[in-house]
Structure 1
Amino acid sequence: MASRVLLILCLSSLFFFLAASTKEYPGQAKIFDVRNYGAHGDGRRDNAFAFTKAWNEACQWSNGRSTVYIPPGIFYLRQVTFTGPCKNPITFIIRGTLLAPRNPYAIKQDEWILFKYVDNLTVTGGGLLDGQGSYSWPLNDCNKNTNCRTLAMNIGFAFVKSSRINGLRSINSKMGHFNLFSVEDFNITGVTITAPGDSPNTDGIKIGKSSHMHIFNVTIGTGDDCIAILDGTSNLDISDVRYI
C-alpha cells in the first residue's frame, strides 16, 4: 500500500513538473515582445510593421491574457492602427519612447497611433509618446483658414469598451493628444500631457459620443483645452486634474 501511495505521489510530481515547464499551457498570460518581430529602438527605422505583427498575434492569442511589450528605447513609427476584436483581455505596455514623423504629411490618418474595436484593453507602462509637433505647428492655420489640413493627434481610441490608460506621457502632439470616440466604460489615470502654451489646437483629451468615462489624477498643460467634451458624451466623471 505504501509503495502504491509513493508511486502516485511520484507520478503527480512528474505531471506538475511537466506542466510548469511548458511555456504555453491553457490560461497562461503570454508576452509578445516587439523586438521578436523585428522592432528596433534606434529612433530611425520604422517599426509599424513589427508593432502590427506583434499586436495581431497577441490579439489572436486564445489561451489567456496577452501582453504587447515595448522595451526601453526610441521606436520610430510612421503611423499604426491596432484593430480588434481580440480573443482575450490584452495589455499594451510602453516602456520606451514612441517617436512620430516630423513631416505631418507622412501620417495619413486622424491619429498617429489608433486602437479600434477592442474590449478589455489596458495601455500602460510609463512610456512617452513624442508627436514632434513643433515641425507642424507653423502649418496649423485653422483659426483663419477654413480649408486647412487636419493634423494628426498623438493617440486615438474608437469603439473601445471596458478599457483603461494608465501612466503614459504624451508630448508635443501635432494637434490634440488623446482622442476618444464612441468609447464606453473607459478609465484614464496617471497620465501627463504637455505641449507649449503657444502650440495651436493641442487639446489634451478630446471626447465624443462616449459614456461612463472616469478621468482622474492627470496632469495637463497644452496650447488649447485640457479636456474637450463634444456632443453625445454622458456619464463622465473628472477629478484631480492638475494644470501645468
Structure 2
Amino acid sequence: MAIASAFKALCLSLLFVAAASHPTVRSKVFNVRRYGAKSDGKTDNANAFTNVWKSACARKSGNSKIYVPKGTFYLGGVEFVGPCKNQIEFVIDGTLMAPSNPKDIKQDTWINFRYINYLFISGSGTLDGQGKQSWPLNDCHKNTNCPKLAMTMGFAFVNNSRINGITSLNSKMGHFNFFSVHHFNITDVTITAPGDSPNTDGIKMGLCSNIHISNTQIGTGDDCIAILSGSSNLDISNVNCGPGHGISVGSLGKNKDEKDVKGLTVRDTIFNGTSDGIRIKTWESSASKIVVSNFVYENIQMINVGKPINIDQKYCPHPPCEKNGESHVQIQDLKLKNIYGTSTEKVAMNLQCSKSFPCKNVELIDINLKHNGVKGGPSTAVCENINGSARGKMVPQHCLN
C-alpha cells in the first residue's frame, strides 16, 4: 500500500514537472469595446475595429483573439490586412450592422480580409448587410449606370483558415466572396436573404482550391454556391439550399483568361424550391477554351426544383446575346449518382452540351426525378452533344448517346 502511494506521488510530481516545462500559451483577448467600439447600432466603429486588428495582428508572442461581444455594432467598410505575426481568432457573438445606404460603403466588400494565414472566424453572431434598400438598384443588366453594391464579407489570398457558426443576413450583393483562397473550411454557417433579392449569391469562389463546405444552410435570391474560373478540389456536403438558383459552376467561358475548373464533390445535400439544383453554365460564344472535369454529385434530394439537373452550354441570361458559335468549354468526367426527388418543370434532366466540344464520359447512376408541376405528365430528359453511360433506376428515361 505504501509502495503504491509513493508510486502515485512520483507520477503526480513527474506530471507537474512535464506540465511546467511545456506551459500553455493562451491567446491574448482583444475586446473591441476596450478599443472604443460602441454597441449602440449607430456609431461607426470602423476605426475601433481597424485598431483592434492592427494590435492583434502585430502581436509576436502567442496567438490573438479578437472578441466582439453581444450587442449591435454599426460598421462602415473595413479591411483587415495581413500578413500577421501569429494566428488570429475572430469571435463574433454580437451583430455587425452595415450602413443601409449603399453609398456609405466606399469599397467593393463591406468586411474584407486579405493576405492572411491561419484566420479562424467563429461565434453565434450575425453579419447584417441591410440589403433591402439596395436591391431595387440592382438592375445592371439594363442600366449601365447602376451603382456598385458591396459584398458582405470577402477573403482574398487567405490560406489555412476557417469560418464557423456565424450568420450572414440580407447582403446587398453576394454574402461571402473568395478569391485566390486555399485550404479553407466553412462549417455550420447560415446564409439568408429573400428569394427575390437580386444577385445575393451565398458563397462565390474563383481561383480557389481545397475548399470544404459542410453543414451549412443557404437561402438567397441567386446561386447558393457559385464556382468560378480556376477553382479545384472542392468538397461540399450536408448543405441545405433554398430558395436560390442551386449550386452553380459558372458561368464560364465569357472572358479570355479563364482557367480550368476541376475536382468537385457535392454530396448529401438537399435543394428545396430552387430554380436549379445541379447546374453547369457556359457562354454560347466563348472567349476561352477551358476544361471542366472530375465532378461527382452523389446522394442529392430535390424538393420541387425547377431544373434538378441542368447543363446549359447555351447560357444567355439577358437576350439578345452575341451568337458567334458554340461554347468552347469542354465538360468531361461527370458522375451523377442517387439523385432523387421532384421537379416543377417537365424537363427534369437538361443536358445541353456544346456541338464543338461535346460532353464526354458523363455517368448517370440511379436517377429518380418525378415531375410535380402544374402541367401534367411524366418528367423528361433533353440531351444534346453528350456521350456517356447510364445504369440503375432511370426516371426520366435517359437520352445519352
Match of 1:161 among 159, 176, 179: 159
Aligned pairs for 1:93-132 (under 5 A) are: 93-132=91-130
Q: What residue number does 2:38 align with?
A: 40
Higher RCO, Cα 8 Å, sep 6+: 1
Q: Structure 2 matches for 1:162-241, cutoff 5 A?
A: 162-241=160-239
Match of 2:63, as an amino acid?
R
**Counterpart position of 2:353:** none
Shift of 1:142: 1.7
- Rounded Cα–Cα distance in structure 1 between residues aligned with 2:146 and 2:214: 33
Select which of 68, 75, 79 maps to 2:77.
Answer: 79
CA deviation after TM superposition for structure 1 residue 63, in Å: 1.1
Which residue type is aligned with residue 45 of structure 1? T
Identity %: 64
Normalising by the residue count of structure 1, what TM-score does the alignment of the two structures yield?
0.88
Structure 2, unaligned runs of 5 or more:
1-16, 243-401
Rounded to whole Å, the distance in 1 between the matches of 2:239 and 2:148 is 27
1:124-144 CA-to-partner distances (Å, cap 9, x unmatched) read 111100000001111110232
Q: Give 3-state SS (helix, strand or coil) of 1:86's partner.
A: coil
- In the aligned structure 2, how far is the partner of 1:139 from the partner of 1:155? 20
Cα-to-partner distance string for 1:170-226 (whole Å, 9 max, x where unaligned) = 010000000000000000010000000110000000001111110111000000000
Q: Aligned pairs, how many? A: 222
In the TM superposition, what is the alpha-carbon distance from 1:28 to its structure 2 partner?
A: 3.4
Higher strand share: 2
Q: In structure 1, what is the Cα distance between the partners aligned to 2:75 and 2:137?
A: 21
- Structure possessing the higher radius of gyration over alpha carbons: 2
1:203–1:225 Cα contact (<8 Å) kept: yes
Output the TM-score relative to the length of structure 2: 0.54
Q: How far apart, CA to CA, are the structure 2 residues paired with 1:243 and 1:227?
A: 9
Q: 2:139 matched to which residue of 1?
A: 141
Q: Aligned to 2:132, what secondary structure does the other structure show?
A: helix
Letter in 1 for 2:196: D
Q: CA deviation at 1:61?
A: 0.9
2:58 maps to a residue whose letter is: Q
Contact 1:26 1:63 in 2 (8 A): no
Secondary structure in structure 1 of the residue aligned to 2:117: coil
* Deviation >3 Å, runs of 4+: 25-28
Cα distance in structure 1, aligned partners of 2:59 and 2:193: 37
Shift of 1:108: 1.3
RMSD: 1.5
Deviations, residues 101-156 of structure 1 (Å, cap 9, x unaligned)? 01101111111000110100001111100000001111110232244332101100
Q: CA shift at 1:243, angstroms?
A: 2.1
CA distance in 2, matches of 1:50, 1:63: 23
Q: Give the partner amino acid of 1:58.
A: A
The structure with the largest helix share of the pair is: 1
Moved more, 148-157 or 202-211: 148-157
